[in-house]
Amino acid sequence: MFELPQFTELPEAPDESDSEGCIQCQMGSKLVLFITGKCHWQCDYCPLSETRRDIDWMFANERRCESFDEVIEEARAMRATGAGITGGDPMMARERTLKGISLLKDEFGPEFHIHMYTSIPFKEDWAIDLAKAGLDEIRFHFLDLDAESYMSTISACSKAGIMTGVEIPCEPDREEELLNLLEELRESEISFLNINELEITVGNHDNMELRGFNLSTEITAGAAGSSEIALMMRDRIHCAERGDPDPVDGTIREPYGFHLKFCTAVYKDSGQMRRRFLRRGEATISPHEILTNDGTLVFGAVEADEGSADDWMNEISRITGLPPRFMLWDRSTNRIEIPLSVAEAIAEEASAPVSMVEVLPTHERLEVTMVRLNSS
């Protein structure tokens, strides 16, 4: 594959105790189903941009969808093995969420793994509805770290046969409360606790600045201090499991009874998202394209309108011997897409602009790079 030297080695590896939802996310094989932007709570650290926050739209990965037929089409385009349902809060669109779970299970079968995020401690009988629809795993986001409000809902989900866990961001100014949460969760029926490195994004930058949070480094969106607390929490869980003294206070604690997963901001971007792009790229690549190690698609392009496209393709084929099936005229961009090697070979002599183009393998094929190869 064509290689762009942008990514360092990923620091984390999957753990056999990770939930199935986590495993599939790390593989890049989970469809991200953004079911609604509606949410009942305005968390100051919410990473959503203004184009999604509080807007009742549905997205499958980066594709806006008007129907579940389009969601299923996107799942097929990336050869998804499961889906993660997020928002907003999916329970703010409960009926749509139940319908989506049922339709995905009907389309792809019982092995298609579905997990869902919510911050709502909903009615206990709703857990049965989610289980009947086919939900495999649920992750509760505790508002204000208030575990007690969620205990009965967690118990109902666990009893309904749904793997149940908690997923929260690690806020750097709440170290004591986060460590206390570990003790509170001893009495719960969760199987796992996922701790995410707090990310500073376009959507929450102003709020994070007000709280005094800065980026930890120039190459990550993680907030300074977040990963240190998360690692402290993970070490405490692991030491208790082994019967070892805690590295911070030396106390030997009883095992907590649940698994803790720490997910960094770098891993979400360069691991999970990159692998999802690679997977979709492998499934949708055209003969004239190159799939890079970054998960992008690269090709050459010759500018040509509808009136000249056929003449240009005939001339390129005559000069280079390139078969027509390795050329594609894109009406939306008025350019002929060809292999990059051919574009480089004809650039000097071509009387039309010739370029190297790099796009994301999303439904919209977002263009991320264009480099002119000649001066025409």
Domains annotated on the chain, with CATH: 20-283 (3.20.20.70), 285-372 (no CATH)
Q: Are 171 and 197 in contact (CB under 8 A)?
A: no
Amino acid sitting at position 334: N
> Nearest 5 degrees, angle CA 176-CA 49-CA 22?
60
CA-wise closest residue to 22 among 317, 271, 368, 354: 271
pLDDT of residue 6: 46
pLDDT of residue 36: 96
pLDDT of residue 224: 84
pLDDT of residue 219: 61
CA-wise closest residue to 162 among 122, 198, 134, 187: 134
pLDDT of residue 181: 97
CA-wise closest residue to 162 among 122, 130, 194: 130
pLDDT of residue 110: 96
> Which residues of the chain are modeled with pLDDT < 50?
1-10
3-state helix, strand, coil in the chain (%, to 5): 35, 20, 40
Q: Are 35 and 71 in contact (CB under 8 A)?
A: no
Per the DSSP assignment, residues forming a β-bridge with 1 are: none
The HSE-up count of residue 231 (CA atoms within 13 Å, CB side) is 7
Amino acid sitting at position 360: L
pLDDT of residue 8: 44
pLDDT of residue 217: 65
- The whole-chain average pLDDT of the chain stands at 92
| Radius of gyration of the chain measured on its C-alpha atoms | 24
Amino acid sitting at position 49: S
Cα gap 131→106, rounded to integer Å: 14
CA 304 to chain centre: 36
> Global pTM?
0.89
The Cα-based distances of 196 to 106, 123, 222, 226, 280 in angstroms read 32, 27, 9, 9, 25
CA 42 to chain centre: 21
